[in-house]
Amino acid sequence: MRNSNFESLGIGSDILQVIDQLQFKKPTEIQQKVIPPILAGESVIGQSRTGSGKTHSFLLPLFQQLDSTKQEVQFVITAPTRELATQLYEEVKKVISYAGKDGVWSSKLLIGGTDKQKMIDKLKTPPHIVVGTPGRILDMVKSEALSIYSANSFVVDEADLMLDLGFIQEVDQLLVRAKSDIQILVFSATIPEKLQHFFKKYLENPTYVKIEEHFSPETMEHRFIALKHRDKGELIKGISNTIQPYLALIFANGKKEADSLVDQLLSEGLNVGIIHGGLAPRERKRVLKEIQNLRYEYVVCTDLASRGIDIKGVSHVINADLPKEEEFYIHRVGRTARAGLEGTAISLYTEEDLPLIEKLEKKGLQISYVDINNGEFVEAKPWNTRKLRKNTTTNLENEAWKQVRKVKKVKPGYKKKMKKEQENIKRRLGNKKYKKK
């Protein structure tokens, strides 16, 4: 039976039916490890990279525990951005539909940018499931349009981004208004030190699950191109002629850099859109809709898109700027090669990026160094060629110094003479080495 793996985790028949329609063949590593403790009522901290199956690792066990005879809020799911909350809500609706529980299980999406009074009216009958951004949920609670005291479980999704965007205070205020023994489920790609204070305050002996980074699926390639003195826009145009993507995300290290890059790429004739935190919510919503409708072949974005937004069908990720830390590289490339599809990550790098590249290689990332020539990828020398050459030179100098005749009686100009002899020997050794090759 296809779902026997999920059944062994404690998932029942109603949810197995959902899993069958979702076409999940087996649980991902994070699902295997967090579903049993969630079903046991434990609070959980789940850490794993984007695209590892985190969403269903909490949705499936929470739905299994839903009691449709009680018309009250039973679990609350919070997300840091409207887009992410909307995506979670879509998955919630899908589970309800696949379980055949339309009209039996109820859910509401609470996000900003929607009419507040209409939202209050819709909450007159409390939903079983609340999904939304912490600010809007708190707004409804303070307006007494909603009570979350009945909830048994509270999810904080993308907790590190929640912290970065300053929404952890609203989460804090919501939990003050919840039951003291509420099950708290925190999911995040990284666990910053600042989150520890939040954990100590609310989570008593939580189950901590960390999935060690495998960096990326086997179906993904990692190609690195030295920028040298070239223009990023021109080089990306050259890459575009080579890859012809279904959809490529191009990452920049900030809003200004993203805006500047878009101008460059538009001047190069590429069909490109842009998405970052500086866009107005309505504009971001419009761009996202256009992306899903395949209006663009390329989308320039910042790290907000690597965590807070799920863009489907990404065939390529291009790092116009490499991030400063390995975790952000993982988040970015995690946007492609999802659900068994192939993907390619292409990164432009400069000498400043060498410490990051060294860390990535030490962690086992298989990198191919390439360049673009006549519309094709060609093999290029790796980043550490200069370092290797420097080491070879040092060895050559040591070897030459060993062969210099040392004199017992020191005469005027002996240092100069010995240095000249060392250079001659070094030249001969170098020539021999060259002839062997």
Query: Total structural domains in the chain?
Result: 3
Q: Are residues 194 and 330 in the same domain?
A: no
Cα separations in angstroms, 123 against 59, 119, 129, 260: 22, 6, 11, 44
With respect to residue 388, please indicate whether it lies within any of the assigned structural domains: no
Q: Residue 290 burial by CB count (10 A; 0-12/13-18/19+): exposed, middle or buried?
A: middle
Angle 168-176/134-142 helices, nearest 10 degrees?
A: 40
Q: For residue 176, give its domain range.
A: 4-210
With respect to residue 55, please indicate whether it lies within any of the assigned structural domains: yes
Q: Are residues 250 and 331 in the same domain?
A: yes
Q: Are residues 314 and 333 in the same domain?
A: yes
Q: Are residues 198 and 284 in the same domain?
A: no
Residue 215: what residue type? F
With respect to residue 158, please indicate whether it lies within any of the assigned structural domains: yes
Q: Are residues 355 and 401 in the same domain?
A: no
Q: Given this model, what pLDDT does residue 436 score?
A: 47
H helix intervals, 148-252: 159-164, 168-176, 195-202, 232-243
Q: Are residues 158 and 250 in the same domain?
A: no
Q: Are residues 368 and 325 in the same domain?
A: yes
Cα–Cα distance for residue pair 112/389, rounded to 1 Å: 58
Angle 82-98/13-22 helices, nearest 10 degrees?
A: 120
Cα–Cα distance for residue pair 125/105, rounded to 1 Å: 12
Do residues 157 and 84 make contact, with C-beta atoms less than 8 angstroms apart?
A: yes
Cα separations in angstroms, 87 against 90, 94, 189, 235, 311: 5, 11, 17, 34, 10
With respect to residue 76, please indicate whether it lies within any of the assigned structural domains: yes
Per residue of the chain (437 residues), give pLDDT as tens.
455 688 889 998 889 999 999 988 889 889 999 999 999 999 999 988 766 788 999 999 999 999 999 999 999 999 988 888 998 999 999 999 999 999 899 999 999 878 889 999 999 999 999 999 999 999 999 999 999 999 999 999 988 888 877 888 999 999 999 999 999 999 987 787 888 888 888 888 899 998 876 555 455 789 999 998 899 999 999 999 888 888 899 999 988 999 999 999 999 999 999 988 777 777 877 888 888 888 899 999 888 666 656 677 788 999 999 998 887 888 788 777 555 456 789 999 999 999 999 988 888 888 999 999 888 899 988 766 555 444 444 555 566 555 655 555 555 565 666 667 767 766 666 655 444 44
Cα–Cα distance for residue pair 357/38, rounded to 1 Å: 37
The residues, ordered by sequence, that sit 6+ positions from 338 with a Cβ below 8 Å of its Cβ are: 51, 314
Residue 120 tokens, joined: 């209050």
Chosen domain end from 210, 233, 257: 210
Cα–Cα distance for residue pair 57/76, rounded to 1 Å: 15
Residue 414: what residue type? Y
With respect to residue 386, please indicate whether it lies within any of the assigned structural domains: no
Do residues 310 and 90 make contact, with C-beta atoms less than 8 angstroms apart?
A: no
Side-by-side strand order, sheet with 272-275: 272-275, 298-301, 248-251, 316-319, 343-349, 220-226, 368-373, 376-379
Q: Are residues 178 and 314 in the same domain?
A: no
Q: Are residues 34 and 166 in the same domain?
A: yes
Chosen domain end from 210, 238, 265: 210
Q: Are residues 77 and 134 in the same domain?
A: yes
Q: Are residues 47 and 175 in the same domain?
A: yes
Backbone angles phi, psi at 196, to 5 degrees: -60, -35
Cα–Cα distance for residue pair 360/96, rounded to 1 Å: 41
Q: Which of 58, 60, 54 is nearest to 20 (CA)?
A: 60
